[in-house]
Amino acid sequence: MTVSGRFDSIGFVNRVAKRLVLEFDDAGQAGTPGLIGAAKEHPVRRQFRGLLPSATGLGSGEVFDSYDGRSRQQDVVIYEQ
């Protein structure tokens, strides 16, 4: 948890990532691609809500880049409220 009495940020991120990978594996059993995606996004949102400041919003949507490209799926979107 700590390295020489300090917070181990790398270890913390690794533990969060391991939990998400396990939940993603479980979500793969959801059935249709849409259900699988939603099942994978839920634990990500839950983790982010616990880590991000209260002024940060979480949602879902398609992401557009500056070249008018867009994601082909719903994504977890983090924004300032």
Which sequence spans correspond to the domains of the chain? 2-80
pLDDT at 24: 82
Phi first, then psi, for residue 11 (nearest 5°) are: -60, -40
How far apart CA 29 and CA 39 sit, in angstroms, is 9
23 DSSP assignment: H
Smallest Cα–Cα separation from 60: which of 40, 52, 68? 40
60 DSSP assignment: E
> Does pTM top 0.85 for this prediction?
no
Quick one: pLDDT band at residue 1, thresholds 50, 70, 90?
Answer: low
* Tens-digit pLDDT profile for residues 11-28: 999 999 998 888 888 887
* Tens-digit pLDDT profile for residues 30-67: 788 878 878 888 888 888 888 899 999 998 888 889 99
Within 13 A of 5's CA, how many CA atoms are on the CB side?
Answer: 0
